[in-house]
Amino acid sequence: MSTADTTTSDSARRPPRPGVAAASAMKIAVTAAFLALLAEPSVAQTAAGQIEKARQQFEQALNMGDAEMVARMYTERAVVLPPNADMIEGREAIQNYWRSVIRAGLRNLSARSVRIDEYGGEAAREIGRFTVDAPGPRDRTGPVEGKYVIVWRKSGDEWRHDSDIWNFTAPAETEAETGTPAAPAATGTGAPSPSR
């Protein structure tokens, strides 16, 4: 037997040193944990993160007075259910609704999600609260608070509103009682403003 054969067969029979085996196992475990963390989707990649981003874009579009952009954030067959009004169905009717509400003076929408539940990767429900400045009698505008539910549908890579409904946290009070105006009906749609 040659010297090379002896060296190879001796090292093959020799058990690994305990410190080396433990260090190798630790490196493998740390690497696996790190790779698992990288594979975990970030908040922006999750449905909730994408919906939060889409909701912020909706707020921006509404606050800029861009009814066309607001309407593009709805599915083609979406339904909007404003308080004390008929259902508004379809993207074009929804655009007309928001256009009239914006023209009436609705502004400064601020919404906050309370919870978002995903249903099978293609649909989700968002529940939240909002504040908005709404027009009232005598050309006065006042803050209104409320709560909402949005059913979101995934359309390609984007989440869109499929159904919206909202109402108000406090019962409507008269201007004489509060000094704050109640919002008038939106013009051109037959539906009242998304405020009191």
Q: Report pLDDT digits (tens) over 21-35.
A: 666 666 665 555 444
CB 70 within 8 A of CB 54: no
In degrees and rounded to multiples of 5, residue 192 shows phi and psi of -75, 165
The H or E element spanning position 57 is helix 47-64
Q: Find, among 158, 148, 76, 69, the residue nearest to 112 by Cα.
A: 148
- For the cut 60, the answer to whether the pLDDT of residue 7 exceeds it is no
Query: Is residue 169's pLDDT more than 50?
Result: yes
pLDDT category at 175 given cuts 50, 70, 90 is: very low
Rounded average pLDDT over 167-190 = 52
Q: Is 81 exposed, middle or buried (0-12, 13-18, 19+ CB in 10 A)?
A: middle
Tokens of 64: 């800029």
The pLDDT of 147-175, averaged and rounded, is: 87
**Cα within 13 Å of Cα(93), Cβ side:** 15
Average pLDDT across the chain, whole number: 78
Average pLDDT over residues 112-136: 93
Q: How, if at all, do strands 88-89 and 158-168 pair?
A: unpaired
Share of the chain above pLDDT 90, in %: 54
Higher pLDDT, 71 or 43: 71
**pLDDT over 80 (residue 195):** no
48 has pLDDT over 90: yes
